[in-house]
Amino acid sequence: MLTAIKTTFLDILVKIYDAWSSHAKSKNNNISIIKFCIVILAALILLSSCVSGIKPENTSVTVPEPPSVIESTIEPDSNQYSLPDGFVYVTDVIPIAQLEIRYFSNDNFVGAVIDGYEAPKAILTKEAAQALKKAADTLYEQGYYIKIFDAYRPQRAVNHFIRWAQDLDDIKMKGKYYPDLDKSVLFELGYIAEKSGHSRGSTLDLTLVEISTGEELDMGSGFDFLGEISHHDTHLITPQQEKNRNILRDAMVDAGFEVYPVEWWHYKLKDEPYPDTYFDFPVK
């Protein structure tokens, strides 16, 4: 700003001088010219003394300070589910295990989501999960994934089965799961019981999936089919179906599990850590 004032003022003085000089020369008056120069010099001195006290404008750019770092104040999810000591999610131990948790769906012999199943998760005791990993590793080398239908089962789910079994009029899933049986005999034949090994946390139901095709092996009957064809000693299946069952059986037995004679999919850890405890925490 100071520079601009000086420049403008000087331009004006120069123009005035030119005009005065022309007039003075025309009158041949050198003394007037000298006087005019003295006036100009005095004016310049006065201007310098005036503008010297003017502070220059602040042309600097203000750079805002970077905002301070705000640490997250988000608390851990208070609803985050922690399993009881001694239990693990199967997929944390065996990431390649496939899950199809039937009791978290309507595709089961009850035809409804079962009490206690709040998520399609497979939970086992640590010991059972480690033994299952041994079997899964063996089967993977042979070209198979394991697919789990059920693992730990809350006692409240078993209670749901009992209520369903007592309602003899509810037979909407009979055609798929127990076509050859009367619902009234399910207790007698051991398909429904007041206590289940699943509730102790070291029992699971599973099948095999061929890695190359992504298809389940043909075991002769589906999971939870209640009938003789699901027994290990049945003569109702083909040699290939029997071979497929034996692939699963051999790997599971070698890993420390026991077979259940009437269900080809059902295996219990021999040395289960809680043989007399039936848990009821939900699957979620």
**Residues 105, 27 within the same domain:** no
**Residues 108, 248 within the same domain:** yes
Res 198: pLDDT: 98
**Residues 108, 204 within the same domain:** yes
CA dihedral defined by 215, 219, 224, 230, rounded to 10 degrees? 180
Any domain includes 156: yes
**Residues 164, 44 within the same domain:** no
CA pair distance 257, 92, nearest whole angstrom: 20
CA pair distance 149, 142, nearest whole angstrom: 21
**Residues 132, 221 within the same domain:** yes
Concatenate the DSSP letters of all residues of 210-248 into one string.
ETTT-PBP--SS-TT--SGGGSTT-SSS-HHHHHHHHHH
- Closest Cα to residue 144, out of 74, 23, 26, 247? 247
Question: Which amino acid does the sequence have at 277?
Answer: T
Res 8: pLDDT: 52
Any domain includes 71: no
Any domain includes 58: no
Res 190: pLDDT: 87
Any domain includes 279: no
- Over the chain (284 residues), what is each successive 10-residue block's mean pLDDT? 50 54 51 54 54 48 40 38 95 98 98 98 98 98 98 98 96 97 92 95 98 98 97 97 98 98 97 98 98
Q: Which of 100, 216, 263, 272 is catalytic?
A: 263
Any domain includes 242: yes
**Residues 143, 9 within the same domain:** no
Pair 137, 95: CB distance under 8 Å: no
Q: Which residues contact 248 (CB under 8 A, 6 or more apart)?
A: 139, 206, 207, 208, 217, 219, 264
Any domain includes 211: yes
CA pair distance 5, 11, nearest whole angstrom: 10
Q: What is the CATH number of the domain that holds 173?
A: 3.30.1380.10
Res 117: pLDDT: 98
Any domain includes 72: no
**Residues 156, 27 within the same domain:** no
Quick count: other Cβ atoms within 10 Å of Cβ 88?
A: 18
Res 65: pLDDT: 47
Res 38: pLDDT: 56
- 201: which DSSP letter? T
Backbone torsion region of residue 24, taken as left when φ is above 0, otherwise alpha when ψ lies between -120 and 50, otherwise beta: alpha
**Residues 15, 102 within the same domain:** no
Which domain does 19 fall in, by range? 2-51
C-alpha of 200 from chain center: 28
Domain count, the chain: 2
pTM, 2 dp? 0.72
Active site residue 141: no
Q: Which residues contact 77 (CB under 8 A, 6 or more apart)?
A: none
**Residues 8, 120 within the same domain:** no
Helix, strand, coil: what percent of the chain each, to 5? 40, 15, 45
**Residues 166, 34 within the same domain:** no
**Residues 129, 221 within the same domain:** yes
Res 205: pLDDT: 98
Decide: helix, strand or coil at residue 33: helix
Any domain includes 81: no
**Residues 23, 97 within the same domain:** no
Quick count: other Cβ atoms within 10 Å of Cβ 130?
A: 16
Tokens coding 6 = 């000086």
